[in-house]
């Protein structure tokens, strides 16, 4: 039994020195496997004196169990260590700053369109739309604009098809075309806001662009009054420029509204005392408006004895430039990121 004792005393050191699972498999085979000392001794049990066998057998079992325990204990440790190592190696450091991806944002014009649309849809208006290539009828005739009106000349309006008054196609000069189109397509009542692109033969300068945007408002129902127009514009001015704004309406002329007015908003930069923003007048000219002319109702098939309405139309670039202090409309068309990045 000496060599078994020797094995029992050397095995713990051997097992402890094994530092891989593959190595431990080999050690296990050596200690308790088919060719191990313990197995060899078990095979020899048959040759022993029957009286000795139980004690020797029990001793062999004990030694085998001790060796197996050593191996199993070490295996558990090695597996844990492997797992711990894996946890460390695979750890994701969530505090590492992410790589910054450049993200785009809407252009200021789009933002302004969205904001104005929100302001009016919040009080029940629907968004309306119309084509940019438009008939002269929708751009002028339906809107009570006589054939001789100077704005119809090629010097003011870009035509795709010019000459035959019945058949003229142009790039719409204002979003008021959507007034005519909306009323044509549905009975009253109507409450729409129509943002969109317009074209005029203007030379590009600080305040003009041959392509620009307007927003058109139209409300038609029984009993709509000039007071409703004024209240709606005041609501818009306060939503867009701040709660302290007041407005004034100055008599004006448009073929499609009667009476017509120009709406001014009190200067938000100086509160009326006069500054550069309002050209020292305390007021900022903002948009055109008025009560829909009965001739327009007749042209599109509404009964002017049944309904009344108001309309207004303003420049998107204009209101955005006023609010954000942009002094040149070309900044909005130049694709200069230094400008665009200020309005994210």
Work out how close the CB of 115 gets to ligand PHE at its nearest, in angstroms, rounded to a whole number. Answer: 19
Work out how close the CB of 269 gets to ligand PHE at its nearest, in angstroms, rounded to a whole number. Answer: 24
- 178 touches ligand PHE (CB under 6 A): no
Which of 212, 313, 320, 322: binder of ligand PHE (CB under 6 A)? Answer: 313
Which of 233, 311, 316, 332: binder of ligand PHE (CB under 6 A)? Answer: 311
Nearer to ligand PHE, 18 or 145 (CB): 145
Residue 306: count of CB within 10 angstroms of its CB: 11
Nearer to ligand PHE, 195 or 288 (CB): 288
Distance, CA of 265 to CA of 273 (rounded, Å): 13
DSSP characters over 178-205 = HHHHHHHHSPSPEEEEEEEEEE--PPPS
Q: Which of 56, 84, 67, 77 is nearest to 32 (CA)?
A: 67
35 alpha carbon, distance to own chain's centre: 73
Distance, CA of 142 to CA of 218 (rounded, Å): 15
**Do residues 152 and 136 touch, judged by C-beta distance below 8 A?**
yes
Stretch that binds ligand PHE, among 36-44, 47-55, 69-77, 311-319 (CB under 6 A): 311-319
Work out how close the CB of 344 gets to ligand PHE at its nearest, in angstroms, rounded to a whole number. Answer: 30
Residue 263 pairs with which residues in a beta bridge? 249, 287
Work out how close the CB of 298 gets to ligand PHE at its nearest, in angstroms, rounded to a whole number. Answer: 17
Cβ contacts of residue 292 below 8 Å, gap of 6+?
A: 179, 218, 220, 256, 257, 308, 309, 310, 311
- 176 touches ligand PHE (CB under 6 A): yes
Q: Which of 284, 71, 314, 101 is nearest to 194 (CA)?
A: 314
Work out how close the CB of 169 gets to ligand PHE at its nearest, in angstroms, rounded to a whole number. Answer: 19
Q: Tell me which residue has its CB nearest to ligand PHE.
A: 313
Distance, CA of 247 to CA of 266 (rounded, Å): 6
216-275 binders of ligand PHE (CB under 6 A): 216, 254, 257, 260
Stretch that binds ligand PHE, among 23-31, 161-169, 241-249, 306-314 (CB under 6 A): 306-314
Which of 130, 195, 196, 290: binder of ligand PHE (CB under 6 A)? Answer: 290
Residue 328, both tokens: 């040149």
Which of 120, 241, 297, 312: binder of ligand PHE (CB under 6 A)? Answer: 312
18 alpha carbon, distance to own chain's centre: 60
Distance, CA of 10 to CA of 5 (rounded, Å): 9
Stretch that binds ligand PHE, among 89-97, 243-251, 307-315, 324-332 (CB under 6 A): 307-315
- 182 touches ligand PHE (CB under 6 A): no
- 174 touches ligand PHE (CB under 6 A): yes
Work out how close the CB of 100 gets to ligand PHE at its nearest, in angstroms, rounded to a whole number. Answer: 43
Residue 155, both tokens: 């010097």
Nearer to ligand PHE, 236 or 312 (CB): 312
Number of residues that bind ligand PHE (CB under 6 A): 12
Which of 188, 195, 196, 288: binder of ligand PHE (CB under 6 A)? Answer: 288
Cβ contacts of residue 301 below 8 Å, gap of 6+?
A: 183, 184
Residues that bind ligand PHE (CB under 6 A): 174, 176, 216, 254, 257, 260, 288-290, 311-313
């Amino acid at each position: 039994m000496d060599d078994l004792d020797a094995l029992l005393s050397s095995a713990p050191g051997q097992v402890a020195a094994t530092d891989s699972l593959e190595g431990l498999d080999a050690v296990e085979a050596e200690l308790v496997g088919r060719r191990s000392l313990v197995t060899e001794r078990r095979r020899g049990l048959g040759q022993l004196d029957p009286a000795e066998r139980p004690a020797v057998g029990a001793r062999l079992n004990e030694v085998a169990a001790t060796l197996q325990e050593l191996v199993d204990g070490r295996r558990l440790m090695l597996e844990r260590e492997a797992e711990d190592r894996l946890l460390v190696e695979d750890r994701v450091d969530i505090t590492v700053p992410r790589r910054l991806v450049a993200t785009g944002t809407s252009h200021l014009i789009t933002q302004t369109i969205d904001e104005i649309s929100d302001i009016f849809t919040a009080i029940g208006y629907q968004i309306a739309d119309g084509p940019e290539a438009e008939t002269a009828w929708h751009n002028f005739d339906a809107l009570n604009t006589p054939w001789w009106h100077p704005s119809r000349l090629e010097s003011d309006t870009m035509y795709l098809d010019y000459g035959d008054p019945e058949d003229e196609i142009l790039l719409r000069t204002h979003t008021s075309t959507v007034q005519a189109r909306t009323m044509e397509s549905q009975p009253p009542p109507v409450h729409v806001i129509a943002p969109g692109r317009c074209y005029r033969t203007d030379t590009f300068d600080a305040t003009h662009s041959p392509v620009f945007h307007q927003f058109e408002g139209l409300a038609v129902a029984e009993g709509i009054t000039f007071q409703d127009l004024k209240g709606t514009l005041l609501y818009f001015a306060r939503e867009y420029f701040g709660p302290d704004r007041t407005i004034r309406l100055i008599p004006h002329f448009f073929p499609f509204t009667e009476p017509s007015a120009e709406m001014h908003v009190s200067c938000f930069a100086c509160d009326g005392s006069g500054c550069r923003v309002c050209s020292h007048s305390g007021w900022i000219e903002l948009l055109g408006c008025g009560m829909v002319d009965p001739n327009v109702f007749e042209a599109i098939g509404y009964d002017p004895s049944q309904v009344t309405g108001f309309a207004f139309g303003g420049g998107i670039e204009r209101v955005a430039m006023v609010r954000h202090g942009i002094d040149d409309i070309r900044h909005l068309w130049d694709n200069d990121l230094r400008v665009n990045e200020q309005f994210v």
